[in-house]
């Protein structure tokens, strides 16, 4: 079996990764548009986005913190 006959590795499928990230973000409380944007931004770690909501930040505030480029100090 050569490399062309092998099924694609789901761990390296960017579309699948983005979809899984989006679903996790929506479960955490982000609205669909925010979840889709964060899911596509691989420069923003998924755990950071989930941790902010878990720490009590409303999803819309967490989204702003993650996408503004500014990090508040607290």
Does the pLDDT of residue 4 top 60, yes or no? Answer: no
Measured distance CA(50)–CA(38) in Å, rounded: 11
Higher pLDDT, 65 or 9: 65
Does the pLDDT of residue 2 top 90, yes or no? Answer: no
What digits encode the pLDDT tens for the residues 6-29? 666 666 899 999 999 999 999 999
The 3-state secondary structure of 32-61, one letter per residue: HHHHHHHHHCCCCCHHHHHHHHHCCCCHHH
Q: What Cα–Cα distance (Å) separates residue 31 from each residue in 36, 62, 72?
A: 9, 12, 23
Q: What is the pTM of this model?
A: 0.79
Higher pLDDT, 12 or 32: 32
């Amino acid at each position: 079996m050569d490399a062309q006959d092998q099924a694609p590795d789901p761990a390296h499928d960017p579309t699948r990764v983005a979809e899984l990230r989006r679903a996790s973000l929506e479960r955490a409380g982000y609205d669909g548009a925010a979840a889709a944007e964060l899911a596509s931004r691989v420069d923003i770690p998924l755990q950071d986005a989930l941790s902010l909501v878990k720490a009590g930040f409303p999803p819309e505030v967490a989204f702003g913190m993650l996408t503004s480029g500014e990090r508040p100090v607290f």
